[in-house]
Amino acid sequence: MSSSSGSNVIRIHTASYGRTDKTTCSAGRPANQLSRTDCSASTTLPIVRERCEGRTTCLLKALNSIFSDPCGGIYKYLNISYSCVPPNKSSQTCESLHGELDCGSNVIHIHKANYGRTDKTTCSSGRPANQLSNTNCYAPTTLPIIRNRSVNDIKKTQVLLCKGRTTCLLKASNSIFSDPCFGTYKYLDISYSCVPPSKEPEHPITTILHYTPNTFSLTLI
């Protein structure tokens, strides 16, 4: 994988190890090794993401020992669709407080957001143990609220729409995101990146790697 900017990181969209057509990686192979086109290892995507997501370089081998063998006797290949994106930033705002996302001259692109609690350390200072014990606390409407609220709703709830803005003011409040775990001290956790304002999302790049012991390098240059 490659990108025009060395500050970008790899984002994996799709990945498949197996065979879905008879032409890819077919040179010199007998017909019986190309006959199945419904062959895909279900664990491919999580494995590739674990090894490559968020990195600037990534080494991969198309091997049964890594992805398993979804179709014995078939010559397989590793097919990856990816793009090169700015690295993610994170923001945590404690309950009842205000926070701000600031991308300078770039604009905000929200990836993930949750109002609740997923660990015992974030926003824990001065809080009793019983307010930190629930680490399985999620408000499922957090992301759509931050991304998609209308201007009128935004004014009422004191939260500015973040997507596509250069700065964004946020309040971590039950009145905005609901209370997913009563009695737990919550925080607003956001993962985002800063992208050039005129830049469209990059089209995914597709890479094919043969089923061989050869190593394939995913590198952002």
What tokens does 150 get? 């209308």
Separation of alpha carbons 196 and 115, rounded Å: 27
Answer yes or no: do 63 and 152 share one domain.
no
Answer yes or no: do 117 and 59 share one domain.
no
Q: Is residue 163 part of a domain?
A: yes
Q: Is residue 214 part of a domain?
A: yes
What tokens does 169 get? 């003011």
**pLDDT higher than 70, residue 153:** no
Give the chain's end-to-end CA distance (angstroms, integer). 9
Answer yes or no: do 168 and 207 share one domain.
no
- What does the pLDDT look like over 167-181, one tens digit per residue? 888 899 999 999 999
The pLDDT of residue 161: 65
Nearest Cα neighbor of 19 from 38, 45, 44, 33 is 38
The pLDDT of residue 206: 60
Entry pTM: 0.60
Answer yes or no: do 81 and 98 share one domain.
no
**Cβ atoms within 10 Å, residue 113:** 22
**pLDDT higher than 60, residue 155:** no
Number of domains in the chain: 2
**pLDDT higher than 70, residue 19:** yes
**pLDDT higher than 90, residue 6:** no
Percent residues over pLDDT 90 in the chain? 56
Answer yes or no: do 182 and 136 share one domain.
yes
- What does the pLDDT look like over 26-39, one tens digit per residue? 999 999 999 999 99
CB 162 within 8 A of CB 106: no
Name the residue range of residue 36's domain: 9-86+201-219
What tokens does 92 get? 């945590």
Nearest Cα neighbor of 89 from 107, 65, 77, 75 is 107
- Convert 120-167 into a string of H (helix), E (strand) and C (coil): CCCCCCCCCHHHCCCCCECCCCHHHHHHHCCHHHHHHHCCCCCCCCCE
Answer yes or no: do 96 and 75 share one domain.
no
CB under 8 Å to 30, separation ≥6 — which residues?
none
Separation of alpha carbons 199 and 210, rounded Å: 33
Q: Is residue 2 part of a domain?
A: no
197: helix, coil or strand? Answer: coil
What tokens does 104 get? 């300078």
Answer yes or no: do 45 and 70 share one domain.
yes
- What does the pLDDT look like over 89-116, one tens digit per residue? 999 999 999 999 999 998 888 888 999 9
Answer yes or no: do 138 and 58 share one domain.
no
What separation in angstroms does the CA of 11 have from each of 47, 56, 132, 210? Answer: 13, 10, 33, 21
- What does the pLDDT look like over 33-67, one tens digit per residue? 999 999 999 999 999 989 998 888 898 999 999 99
Question: How sure is the predictor about 214, in pLDDT bands with cuts at 50, 70 and 90?
Answer: very low
Q: Is residue 3 part of a domain?
A: no
Q: Is residue 72 part of a domain?
A: yes
Q: What average pLDDT does the structure give for the chain?
A: 84
- What does the pLDDT look like over 175-204, one tens digit per residue? 999 999 999 999 999 998 888 876 544 555
76: helix, coil or strand? Answer: coil
**pLDDT higher than 60, residue 14:** yes
> How many residues would you count in the chain?
221
The CATH code of the domain that includes 72 is 2.60.120.740
The pLDDT of residue 183: 98
Q: Higher model confidence: residue 213 or residue 132?
A: 132
Answer yes or no: do 118 and 163 share one domain.
yes
